[in-house]
Amino acid sequence: MKRVLVVIAVLAGVGGLIALLGYHPHSDGLSQAASSNGGGATSNSTDTPTPQATPVGGYKDGTYTGSSVDVGYGTVQVQAVVAGGKITGVNFLQMPFDASRSAMIANEAKPILQQEVISAQVANVDLVSGATSDWGGFVKSMQAALDQAK
Amino acid sequence: MKSTRRIMGMPVTLEVPDGNDRAAAMEAAFDRLMWVDKVFSTYKPDSQISRLNRGELKAGQLDSEVRGVLAACEKMRKVTGGYFDIRRTGNEIDPSGYVKGWAIGEGAEILRRAGVERYFVDAGGDMQVRGEWRVGIRNPFNRQEIVKALRVSNVGVATSGTYERGEHIYDPHTGKPATGLASLTVVGPDIVTADVYATAAFAMGANGAEWVAAQGLECYAIAPDGTATFTPGLRQLFL
């Protein structure tokens, strides 16, 4: 459960990055994709588009690799798979794995609880928390203490 | 100095450092707690709550402090998804579950305003502390024992359970007594919050600890089989 949540949380975080990254199809004919590119650097791109004649959903079929982007806690690089003119898959080529960050994200998603079997403690304490004590119980325990002092 | 009085039908214990000023502040805090009992008790026929429940008082005729408490109860009902609910059968209400924590907070506030630097106000096992104190969590299966010792400062600590008075906390959604837990202790910034959340989470049963954690509070929940579930933050407080 915990592992699944971590993965989901990380994906959710990266989901927003896909839009940020865009992907970088080199074909000049794809104005829609080019505008989302915003003229950003594509130095890291290693596009390997397979030839495709008819873009249906606006994107040319193929596999497009985005730039490596430093997201503050590591480097993220994604790859988009376009088929039938639509994005049909996203591959994560580089994903940071930072245990503390992941734990933090997991904590935000769902608190991690710990478990133990209870056992009597001998520590001295100043006061005790328990389900509401009534006055009778208090008097009884005081009486027991006084009896011991006799 | 430390003193115990019977208020709200339970032992209320205050401890403050020695000194005449502090003794006076302690008396003032006890007075405030007794005033709360007089006005809010469902056991006293002439309390405002009893008179309201008998229809002798209308909501508009209640003291402003009583109206404030009832408004806070309604807010807590919403915050807890209905698990904290003072409404009873008919048109009756029983705000005792809120008033106890509120009374502790009122007593503590009097000590704080009087400049008492270190104290605790304990009403029947729920408490507000100022300064550092060692607080035990009672074993719900053996009241002579504690199962955990915590080092806490400036917090409220409340435990819900059914074992001592034989009373039940009901799940308002089913109308049946909550049986999923033996006890549940909440450590929160103040006793009112800790108390209400402990009550609501206890009514939730097995999911209570997770819910408390999601609210950003610390808790220690003991299941009927003697297994405890607790928040990682609580571990920092273990003695």
CA distance B212 to chain A (A): 9
Task: Tell me what pLDDT residue A98 has.
Answer: 52
In the three-class reduction of DSSP (H, G, I as helix; E, B as strand; rest coil), residue A33 is classed as helix
Query: CB of B9 within 8 A of CB of A135?
Result: yes
Task: Tell me what pLDDT residue B12 has.
Answer: 96
Q: Which helix (H) or strand (E) holds B2?
A: strand B2-7
Mean model confidence pLDDT for chain A: 63
Q: Does A148 touch chain B (CB under 8 A)?
A: no
CA distance A141 to chain B (A): 10
Q: Please give the structure tokens belonging to residue B147.
A: 């199962």
Give the number of C-alpha atoms closer than 13 A to the C-alpha of residue B223, restricted to the C-beta side. 12
In the three-class reduction of DSSP (H, G, I as helix; E, B as strand; rest coil), residue A79 is classed as strand
Query: B70 vs A73, B67, B177, B188, CA distance in Å?
Result: 48, 5, 23, 21
Query: CB of B200 within 8 A of CB of B181?
Result: no
pTM to 2 decimals?
A: 0.71
Per residue in A28-78, pLDDT (tens digit) is 333 333 333 333 333 444 555 555 455 555 778 888 888 787 766 667 777
Is A111's CB within 8 Å of B214's CB?
A: yes
**Whole-number Å distance between alpha carbons of B143 and A3:** 39
Of B100, B181, B196, B96, the C-alpha closest to B140 is B181
Q: Please give the structure tokens belonging to residue A121.
A: 């403690």
**Whole-number Å distance between alpha carbons of A126 and A115:** 25
Q: Answer whether residue B47 shows pLDDT above 80.
A: yes
Residue type, A135: W
Calculate the dihedral angle through the C-alpha atoms of B119, B123, B126, B129, rounding to the nearest 10 degrees: -10
Q: Does A131 touch chain B (CB under 8 A)?
A: yes
Cβ-based neighbour number of residue A65 at 10 Å: 19
Higher pLDDT, A101 or B200: B200
Is A120's CB within 8 Å of B147's CB?
A: yes
Higher pLDDT, B106 or A91: B106
Q: Does A132 touch chain B (CB under 8 A)?
A: yes
Q: Please give the structure tokens belonging to residue B21.
A: 């000023």
Per residue in B12-38, pLDDT (tens digit) is 999 999 999 999 999 999 999 999 999
Burial class (CB in 10 A: 0-12, 13-18, 19+), B22: buried
Q: Please give the structure tokens belonging to residue A126.
A: 């100043």
**Whole-number Å distance between alpha carbons of B184 and A106:** 24
Mean model confidence pLDDT for chain B: 95
Query: CB of B143 within 8 A of CB of A110?
Result: no
Q: What is the mean pLDDT of residues A93-105?
A: 56
Grade residue B48 by pLDDT with cuts at 50, 70 and 90. very high
- Chain A residue closest in CA terms to B208: A113
Q: Does A144 touch chain B (CB under 8 A)?
A: no
Per residue in B51-83, pLDDT (tens digit) is 999 999 999 999 999 999 999 999 999 999 999
Calculate the dihedral angle through the C-alpha atoms of A52, A53, A57, A63, rounding to the nearest 10 degrees: 10
> Which position has the token pair 């004919």?
A29
Q: Does A118 touch chain B (CB under 8 A)?
A: yes
Query: CB of B203 within 8 A of CB of B171?
Result: yes
DSSP string, B32-81: HHHHHHHHH-SSSTTSHHHHHHTTSS-GGGS-HHHHHHHHHHHHHHHHTT
Q: Does A1 touch chain B (CB under 8 A)?
A: no
Q: Answer whether residue B136 shows pLDDT above 80.
A: yes
Selected residue of A104, A121, A132 to mutate for chain B interface (largest B Cβ count, 10 A) = A132
Q: Please give the structure tokens belonging to residue A124.
A: 């001295």
Percentage of chain B surpassing pLDDT 70? 98
Burial class (CB in 10 A: 0-12, 13-18, 19+), A95: middle
Say what the ipTM of the complex is.
Answer: 0.94
Grade residue A16 by pLDDT with cuts at 50, 70 and 90. very low
Q: Which residues of B touch A138 (CB under 8 A)?
A: 4, 6, 10-11
